[in-house]
Amino acid sequence: MTRIQRLIKEAKESCTFRGHQMKPFSHKYKKWSSSECMVCGMICNVNADPAPNEIDICGEAVALHCRYEGEPDPMETIVEENRFEIY
Ligand SMILES: [Zn+2]
């Protein structure tokens, strides 16, 4: 397994842990790959040859949970409250 393949595997695991459903990671470049979540659109970048000030796995998708898990969407909450008042 190459370094980029290993990093992609790690990135996928991190994104899945956060509830994302990632599109297949691109294999267009030897040392760089990215994907985005099909549900919320957050991205994940993988860099197999990072500069000293860069990190190998980054992006919203590894830092934040998918927005359809955990905290409810504030807009949905408002809709539900309005519906409640009608009845
Ligand atoms: Zn997501």
Report the separation in Å between the CA atom of 26 and the middle of ligand 1, taken as the mean of its atom positions.
17
pLDDT at 67 (0 to 100): 83
- Of the chain, the end-to-end C-alpha distance in Å amounts to 59
Structural domains in the chain (count): 1
The pLDDT-based confidence of 71 (bands split at 50, 70, 90) is low
Report the separation in Å between the CA atom of 87 and the middle of ligand 1, taken as the mean of its atom positions.
34
Report the separation in Å between the CA atom of 66 and the middle of ligand 1, taken as the mean of its atom positions.
4
pLDDT at 86 (0 to 100): 53
pLDDT at 74 (0 to 100): 62
Report the separation in Å between the CA atom of 42 and the middle of ligand 1, taken as the mean of its atom positions.
6
The residue range of the domain holding 82 is 3-86
Alpha helix segments (H runs only) across the chain: 3-17, 60-63, 74-86
What is the average per-residue pLDDT within 52-76?
81
Q: What is the side-by-side order of every strand in the sheet holding 57-58? A: 32-36, 43-47, 57-58
